[in-house]
Structure 1
Amino acid sequence: MFYWFLKLVAIGPLLRLVFRPRTEGLEHVPTQGPAVLASNHLSYADWLFMPAAVPRRVSFVAKAEYFTGPGLKGWLQKSFFSGAGQIPIDRSGVDAAEGALRSAKSVLARGELFGIYPEGTRSHDGRLYRGKIGVARLALETGVPVIPVAVVGTDQVAPPGKKFGRVTRPVVRFGEPLDFSRYEGMGGDRYILRSVTDQIMYEIMKLSGQEYVDEYAAKVKAAESEADKRPGPPDPGAAPDRKAS
């Protein structure tokens, strides 16, 4: 009930009033039955605008810290994320991917929609990065269709690393469902998983118009962060450091 309260009363109408988001290709989202919505990830606002565009409930996995905070603040945060369709997952352990996969399968087994960001993290520069194969495993092991999704403009509403953005009109664009039933029983083949994932990312790229980078976003961000920490070259115009004799 809280999910629908947020969607239909508290948050959904406010998003439509302030930002007037556009939705394209909604006819590709089934009105009933399970499906995976695989989206690009530009901003933390994505999980507000994309589900708001769909008449059905959309569930995601979220880090467990959102559900384990102490005191009143922790309770309010847990209530909000649970009510907003988020499923807790501990991402700190080696079994994090398996836990996310189990949670996703339980959602799909109930005939619902499951949302996933194959990049695994937000894009820090607006480009589309290589997808992780979890989305392919989910598609092949459940047999449900994958619907590619592109959100455009949310990185201006809520830019990564900044507190405030600007009011713009985001677009949520849904592509035609992708059927991978021809790969039934081949979910253990890593080459098939990579091929399926790349096909999904290609469809997302066509919908979003983003430049594609065939590297994982987390790896690129880590490399850039490490480079920023290195000391730069000396300033040629700076006065020499003369030590007192």
Structure 2
Amino acid sequence: MQRPRIRERIRATALELLRGHPQGLRYSELHRQIRQSDTSFNASTINAYIWNLDALHPEQVYKPIKGLYRLIEFKDPIPAELNEEPPVEVQQIKIREEVFYPLFASWLKNDIEDVTHAIALGGNAFRDRWGTPDVIGKAESRRSDVIKGPTSIVSAEIKIDPAGLVTGFGQACAYKLFSHKSYLVIPTQTPEDELARVDSLCQIFGIGLVTFNAKCPALPEFRLVIRPLKHEPDLFYMNRYVAHIEKELFS
């Protein structure tokens, strides 16, 4: 008998995993568990075959909230917020901040669906002392959307060291110059009093706030604390900065 194609194997694995998690699985967790189930599966291949799992199997899968996949047979009885797992203890090692850039880009696109495409940036890609976002994305209407809206730019600044919160907040504010939405992403290990200050500032300035486990790239557990307020950036600066990454972001 001919072996099922990789597409069918990945989707069958995804459905089986969802069957074992009545509360549902976030995209990133589903992706991770599929990868663990068969190391021959390529990460990008898994993404290609599960990102629209609910559209491919509407009779079996649905999304109770953005980025959360659940089998229809488990619909309603179990609230989405029960999708919690105990924290994973990891060895204390020095981790580079850049490791989290593509992970957050994927979370922004697949878990909360705030963008349709996102890329890790960082460095000095904009060649400007006002700084370059660590992650930048765009939100566009899909072909299947009945009502279509304009393209939006979303930027994010990520900090793994709580000592850099003030700098990070300032950068996130600066990104509003050319972005419709701006996020500040900080460690869950941030002291409570510092987190409270940042929380208040983000609410005042309309910055999105996300916390994550900065000690574990394998399971960063990004958590949305405050949604960013959408606003209209300066069109001149938006075109000026996005021109540097037009190919990567729009091709």
* TM-score under structure 1 length normalisation: 0.24
Q: Which has the higher contact order (CA 8 A, sep 6+)?
A: 1
TM score, norm. by length of structure 2: 0.23
Say which one has the larger Rg.
1
